[in-house]
A = this chain, B = another copy of it.
């Protein structure tokens, strides 16, 4: 393929993407394909000879696109949003076009330095304490990781390394292996699966502590857990606080957890993967009160901030904590400097290689501007509030818990069986996509405003789909008798808000 063909193929792809979003409402959010559809359809072997780009493109539109779930459809309300925007797509395109790998400064100076600049910009937008920024006099700084999963694990490993160094200083004869197996990590039972997985991957026991009835991990609970474990000879090492849990978007009080961690020299990591984006609006910053206690802070710009996956923005108060844990040197990787202010980012992450991911963050920050992004966040929250009102106006439904950010959880008064049935029927029809969770022992449906294209009218379409399906399955005559049964299971109040499935 020469550059002329690339101009044609590339521009056809640009037009395809523009058309795809111009017509995003024309197709169902969920594709009508059966498991195995594409495996059966495509040949068993790669082509032997080159194919013309037009044939390749036709294969893409005819066979692949029909099997795609439309994450940017206004009726996509599952999980949390995944960022996509025209600005980000071009930033990412430029990243691929330059095709550099930022393993050292010399390997591409702009790659390292634009990451420093954009992570300072972004940290300031969020109102993070200055200590987290590369632009501060101290050893703090930001780095782009692939995912919140990766950030949680990177900080767990750094915390483990830091703790062992601290203990070795107190007792140089310490047996490292026997000590490390006593380390314990803590988070709430509302954590994302990736937090629990980080314990598995990083070989550290991870205790999922019971959240309160609002889904928040409280300081007293953490303190008690530390005491229990210390009494058993274990060593508290790492805490992951959640700002915006996956199930119900609850916010752990950092101002309670922080002092407990500080007193015990335990690393406090903040996972604000989704909801952290709202901190660009000053009116939501009270939800991160106590952030000054954190050692590390992570937010997925690729969730709610219109940057394409992968762009998980992570800040640490002390870059040396990462470098100490991850630096493995080689002659061929020697670089011109050793300056924390122009970091060798390969020591701030697990893999050696790294793309020029700051280009997409940069493109979004420039094309939207801070005000544009704030408008986006506020707009999405107001759409969720609009949906909340629609649900609340229908007495067959209960909205619970209190909606937060772009998330509205609801269920049928009739109970779990019908709520589940409602969700299953909706998914079967493929016009709307939501997922379930469990709250206070009851099955709930999570509805999240995900697409940047969503309007008030779209929200009303989504509500109509839900309402019509409820009309199909709920016998309104039975409403009164069933509503009494709610009280009878109120003793379930204190059950984990988002139980793990077994």
Contact = CB atoms under 8 A, between A and B. Distances in A.
B47 A366 contact: yes
Contacts of A47: 365-366, 369-370
Interface in A354-413: 355, 359, 363, 365-372
A170 interface: no
Contact of A309 (B14, B17, B86, B101): B101
A115 to B, nearest CB: 10
A208 to B, nearest CB: 11
A465 to B, nearest CB: 18
Contacts of A332: 78-79, 246-247, 435-437, 446
B14 A45 contact: no
Given A65-B110, A180-B203, A246-B332, 19 more contacts: A2-B86, A6-B17, A6-B18, A10-B18, A10-B90, A17-B97, A37-B109, A38-B109, A38-B110, A44-B135, A51-B367, A72-B99, A89-B96, A93-B96, A193-B329, A194-B328, A201-B350, A202-B203, A331-B501
Interface string A147-171: 1011001000100100000000000
Nearest to A149: B351
Interface stretch (A117-125, A260-268, A475-483): A117-125
Contacts of A37: 109, 113
Nearest to A118: B46
A489 interface: no
Contacts of A246: 330, 332
Interface string A95-135: 01111110101111111011011101110110000000001
B13 A11 contact: no
A64 B110 contact: yes
B82 A100 contact: yes
A225 to B, nearest CB: 19
B124 A45 contact: yes
Interface residues of A, number: 154
A282 interface: no
A221 B92 CA distance: 46
Interface in A1-39: 1-7, 9-11, 13-22, 30-31, 33, 35-39
A75 interface: no
Interface string A325-362: 11011111110110101100000001111010001000
B30 A3 contact: no
A13 to B, nearest CB: 5
User: 6 shortest A-B CB distances, which residue pairs?
Assistant: A84-B99, A67-B110, A17-B97, A6-B86, A10-B14, A38-B113
Interface stretch (A52-60, A209-217, A250-258, A313-321): A52-60
Nearest to A35: B342
A418 interface: no
Nearest to A40: B113
Nearest to A161: B200
Given A59-B366, A200-B325, A370-B47, A330 B13 contact: no
A286 interface: no
A419 interface: no
Interface centre among A18, A351, A370 (most CB of B within 10 A): A351
A85 B11 CA distance: 16
Nearest to A335: B35
A117 B39 contact: yes
A308 interface: yes
A98 B89 CA distance: 10
A384 to B, nearest CB: 17
A473 interface: no
A49 interface: yes
Nearest to A246: B332
B1 A87 contact: yes
A83 B31 CA distance: 32
Contacts of A18: 3-4, 6-7, 10
A429 to B, nearest CB: 14
Contacts of A351: 146-147, 149-150, 194
